[in-house]
Structures are given as structure tokens and as C-alpha cells.
Amino acid sequence: MIACFDIGGSAIKGAIAYSPEDIRPLSKVATPLHDFDLFAMAIEKIAADGGVAPTSLISISIAGVVDSDTGVITCANIPCINGRRLVADLSEKLKRPVLVANDADCFALSEAVVGAGRNHRVVFGIILGTGVGGGLVINGKIHEGTGGFAGEWGHGPVSATLAGNPPIAIPRYACGCGQIGCVDAVGAARGMERLHAYIHGVSLASTEIIAAWDAGDEAAARTIDVYVDIVSAPLAMTLNIVGASIVPVGGGLANSRSLIGKLDEAVRRRILRRTDRPLVIPAELKIEPGLIGAGVLGLMELPK
């Protein structure tokens, strides 16, 4: 068994992983944001309370990107670890081996091993929630790519400036990554809200837009039409490149099966490989996919 963790800017969630199918949650604590010693101590205490041996492996899913060449993590929402060589620093502090992976990568790995991507060689797991992200798993292993940014299809100045049927002009919105015109700026939940306000001059939450669309509201239907047009094109291009045969979707927007179904139809019309089988589908693992992914990642490192 190993200890695994899902760490974000608000909480550290722990679990004990006995197998990919047997991952048992432990306690949750607030994330220490400004003190690295307290950050490390929180991880150690959760592992110890769970009965994990003091020298056993710890595997972590985190809302940040670790540069695979330098080991340095970029994690703006947890200042005490941002810019650190996190694996090395935590291993030294805790006197045990440590693995760290991006949360979207861990989500994709969990779906590839025990979720919707079982029996698929190439799985591209995507997030449609507060941000647009993704992770690529090939033959059961995370493909991090140079710098750790493989799978980040939501960033890059490729968002459409004309979308919908009939087409309307769409502004090139500034993205939090510093670029202009990223899919993340319109494809995330706040992006859907931004589109609706731009098209109709009315501010609604993404959940309200989707509920109105499901109820037959024409304004919401227009927003969803534009949204799917914008998001499906870069996703289809990404799938042409990586060759994934399944795309599990996580994040808050994936709770709408009708939205994911409409996105799937649009993507399958735009990819080169024609298929009648669903490709873009809701993720199977609705509860703690980051913990499951971290557990799977750590268990893979144990001696056979």
C-alpha cells in the first residue's frame, strides 16, 4: 500500500491505495499556502494517521505543472511550493520517495486505468470546468512532454473569431496564461458565461445556461451552438494529432450529458477518422479522480 494525495489551493486530501480498484480516503486538511514546513508536515501527518510506513512512497496529484527536465513546479495558488524542486525538496523533508504529477494528468490516468478509457491504448482526458485542460495517457502511462505541458490543449491563440450557425464575430479574450485567444478563455465555465453575456447582454451562470438550453430556451441554445463550435474545432485538431480513441471529460461542465453529447457529435464530424461510436464522453470516475490517479501512479512504481 501507499499514501496518495490530491492537493489544491484550498485542501490536501489523502488516501491509502492498496490497488487501482481499492483506494480508501483519509482525512482532509486545509492547504498551508505560505509555509513549506507546514505543507510537508500536513502530508506526513495524514500518511502517518493512515498507518503508512514512514519510508513508503508518497504519490501526489497537484494543481500545478512540474518541469520534467528541471523538476521545478509552477503552482501559483500554493506560493510555498511555487518555483521549488518539489519532488527533491519533499523527499528530503519527509525522508521518503515522492512522486508528483499534474492533476489533469492524474485524472486522465485514472480514467485510462479504471475508468472510461480501460482497454484503450491512447486516452486523452480533458477538463471542462473552471479551466480547460487535459492529460495524455499512452499504453497506461502519462505522457508529460517537454516541460510537463503535454495535453494542455486549452492554451494557445487558436480560438475561433467566427462561430455558430449562422456565424457571429467572437472577440479574442485575454487568457490567464498571458496569451490572447485561448480556448480556455471561452471554453471554461466562466467562458460560457462570457459568451452568453456577449451574445445576449444577459449574465447567467453556466449551470443556468445549460438548464435553460435543456428546457428549450432559444437564447441558451444559441450560446451552446457557439460554444460547441468554438471548443470542438481545436479538440478535433488535437485528436488528429495524438490519435486518442477515447476522450473522457471531467470538470463541472461534464455533468451535462447533453452538452458532452453535442460536443462529441461536433468533434466526430471534424476529425479525420470517421466513427459512429461515441468518442468524447463523460468521465466514469465522478468521485476523487485525482486521488485515484495519484494512487495508480504510485502503485505503478512499486516492485512487482
- In a domain, residue 111? The reply is no
Determine, yes or no, domain membership for 121. yes
Instruction: State whether 268 and 122 are in the same domain.
Output: yes
What is the tens place of the pLDDT at every residue in 148-178? 889 999 999 999 999 999 999 999 999 988 9
Residues 157 and 262 in one domain: yes
C-beta separation of 99 from 128 below 8 A: no
For 76, counting Cβ atoms within 10 Å of its Cβ (0-12 exposed, 13-18 middle, 19+ buried), the class is exposed
Is residue 135 domain-shared with residue 251, that is, in the same domain?
A: yes
Residues 95 and 174 placed together within one structural domain of the fold:
no
pLDDT confidence tier of residue 27, bands split at 50, 70 and 90: confident
CA-closest candidate to residue 247, choices 283, 272, 277: 283
Structure confidence by residue, pLDDT tens digits, 58-84: 999 998 889 888 999 999 899 999 999
175-190 confidence digits (pLDDT tens): 988 999 999 999 999 9
Q: Say whether both 44 and 178 belong to one domain.
A: no
Give residue-wise pLDDT tens across range 223-235.
Answer: 999 999 999 999 9
- Name the domain count of the chain: 2
Write out the residue range of the structural domain in which residue 155 sits: 116-282
Q: What's the whole-number average pLDDT of the chain?
A: 94
CA distances in angstroms from 263 to 36, 89, 187, 233, 256, listed in the order given: 42, 42, 11, 10, 11
Whether residues 130 and 257 fall in one domain: yes
Residue 110 lies in a domain: no
218 and 139 in a common domain:
yes
